[in-house]
């Protein structure tokens, strides 16, 4: 296994720890789960990223799923640069924002109207408030191990960073703030029906990740999702599909559409900002028109609809639309990769749990320690995987068969080394 020089990375992270809490702006980036210094990325191109010591990696983190085209797509970069020269923000409606909203609405047939915000967290907060205002009810049902951003009332039994850090719930969240959040277990429709019956007339919404991306990649039966949608409707609650990860990730549109489910509201983020910070929520005019200024549900933000972000999202979606065949290719490569990894592990008698859906995958080993050893060894061979078994990995449209082959070869060496202790 090649030796990497990490002098600059180490120096930068050490300085970062002086000025940033934990040296990071978001916890999972600290590599707390796998130990050791995190890789700090200076630049990226296509499927590759480069750290501060010029080590190159095949990137499966992909900005936590946002960069579906790969890094620094030339067309997106050109369009964003041109947008910047016209000024960065004016705080009024702009043409690009309208174009992006139309583009999303055309792709997601059930969406008449959109509200843009700045992050996935804000998108979910807006959608939940809207659902509460619209139904005149307070309670929501979320599922165990799902992650819907860092709003107080959604951190109950959450996946993603909380699962990674093995924190059951965040400190600083008063009990009263989560009293209106009911956590259910996925797969048990009877239990959900019981909640509806017990809480008669007080459930505003059920929020789901149609494909879970925050506790490993978790898929659900199509019929289960459809039945859950029907049950939600029967009880006059709204179904919120949190597609911050899955929106435009599994196909050109919302994942719910693939499962024959029509959510009342959809939350988007990541990909629709093309690598810049974004969130969006949308649904039928009937519901969306309850938002201020037309309605009485208030939600506002200085930077939402920012033209640079909108341009990045619009250019990305335009490319995705005309290259929609790439979704299948990325999914096939993901399948090849996971099968390859599975063979490498099972031929050595190592237990591994590999899950994939479209171009998302996750892997778990018998212990955190073993995962950490494999993860470190993969890094040393130039493969950058998510630094937690709970976070998903992603392939972009820039990943090739060659990248997949190299990753499997590296995994073979990493598993051999980790097995030896």
Ligand X SMILES: Cc1ncc(COP(=O)(O)O)c(C=O)c1O
Distance CA 39, CA 237 (A): 44
The neighbouring-strand residues paired with 48 are 45, 58
Q: Which of 215, 242, 264, 356 is catalytic?
A: 242
161 lies in the binding site for ligand X (CB under 6 A): no
Q: Which of 52, 147, 153, 356 is catalytic?
A: 147
Shortest distance in whole angstroms from residue 12 CB to ligand X: 23
Q: Helices (H), strands (E): how many in the chain?
A: 15, 14
- 147 catalytic per annotation: yes
Distance CA 52, CA 278 (A): 27
Q: Which of 55, 158, 214, 338 is in the footprint of ligand X by CB under 6 A?
A: 214
Shortest distance in whole angstroms from residue 273 CB to ligand X: 9
275 lies in the binding site for ligand X (CB under 6 A): no
Place of tokens 């993969």: 378
Q: Which of residues 126-155 bind ligand X (CB under 6 A)?
A: 147-149
Shortest distance in whole angstroms from residue 56 CB to ligand X: 26
CA distances from 389 to 159, 316, 349, 372 (A): 11, 29, 20, 9
- 270 catalytic per annotation: yes
Token pair for 179: 């009293």
393 lies in the binding site for ligand X (CB under 6 A): no
Shortest distance in whole angstroms from residue 378 CB to ligand X: 22
Q: Which of 139, 157, 270, 281 is catalytic?
A: 270
8 A C-beta contact, residue 259 and residue 366: no
* DSSP conformational letter for 237: P
Distance CA 265, CA 203 (A): 15
The neighbouring-strand residues paired with 43 are 50
Specify the length of the chain in residues: 421
- 342 catalytic per annotation: no
Binding marks (x or -) toward ligand X, 44..83, rule CB under 6 A? --------------------x-------------------
Look at residue 156 and give its three-state secondary structure: coil
Q: Which of 23, 46, 263, 269 is in the footprint of ligand X by CB under 6 A?
A: 269
Shortest distance in whole angstroms from residue 65 CB to ligand X: 7
Residues annotated catalytic, as ranges = 147, 242, 270
Contacting residues toward ligand X, per CB under 6 A? 64, 119-121, 124, 147-149, 160, 209, 213-214, 242, 244-245, 269, 279
């Amino acid at each position: 296994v090649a030796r990497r020089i990490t002098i600059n990375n180490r120096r930068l992270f050490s300085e970062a720890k002086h000025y940033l809490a934990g040296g990071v702006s978001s916890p999972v980036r600290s590599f707390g789960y796998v130990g050791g210094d995190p890789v700090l990325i200076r630049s990226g191109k296509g499927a590759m990223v480069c750290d501060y010591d010029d080590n190159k990696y095949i990137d499966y983190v992909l900005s936590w799923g946002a960069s579906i085209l790969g890094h620094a797509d030339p067309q997106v970069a050109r369009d964003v640069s041109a947008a910047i020269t016209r000024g960065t923000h004016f705080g009024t409606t702009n043409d690009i924002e309208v174009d992006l909203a139309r583009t999303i609405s055309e792709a997601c047939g059930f969406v008449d109207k959109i509200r843009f915000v700045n992050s996935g967290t804000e998108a979910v907060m807006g959608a939940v408030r809207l659902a509460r205002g619209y139904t005149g009810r307070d309670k929501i049902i979320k599922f165990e191990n799902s992650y819907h951003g860092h709003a107080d009332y959604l951190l109950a039994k959450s996946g993603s960073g909380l699962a990674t850090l093995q924190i059951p719930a965040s400190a600083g969240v008063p009990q009263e703030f989560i009293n209106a959040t009911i956590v259910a277990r996925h797969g048990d429709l009877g239990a959900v029906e019981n909640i509806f019956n017990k809480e008669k007339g007080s459930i505003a919404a059920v929020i789901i990740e149609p494909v879970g991306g925050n506790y490993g990649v978790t898929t659900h039966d199509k019929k289960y999702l459809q039945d859950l949608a029907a049950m939600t409707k029967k009880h006059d609650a709204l179904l919120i599909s949190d597609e911050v990860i899955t929106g435009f990730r599994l196909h050109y549109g919302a994942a719910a559409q693939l499962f024959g489910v029509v959510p009342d509201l959809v939350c988007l983020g990541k990909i629709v900002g093309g690598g810049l910070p974004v969130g969006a929520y949308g649904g039928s005019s009937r519901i969306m028109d309850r938002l201020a200024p037309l309605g009485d549900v208030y939600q506002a933000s200085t930077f939402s609809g920012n033209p640079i972000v909108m341009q990045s999202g619009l250019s990305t979606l335009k490319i995705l639309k005309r290259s929609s065949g790439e979704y299948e290719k990325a999914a096939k490569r993901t399948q090849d990769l996971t099968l390859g990894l599975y063979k490498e592990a099972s031929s050595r008698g190592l237990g591994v749990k590999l899950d994939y859906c479209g171009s998302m995958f996750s892997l778990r080993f018998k212990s955190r320690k073993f995962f950490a050893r494999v993860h470190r060894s993969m890094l040393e061979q130039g493969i950058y995987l998510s630094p937690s078994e709970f976070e998903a990995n992603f392939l972009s449209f820039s990943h090739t068969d060659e990248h997949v082959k190299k990753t499997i070869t590296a995994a073979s060496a990493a598993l051999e080394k980790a097995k030896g202790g």
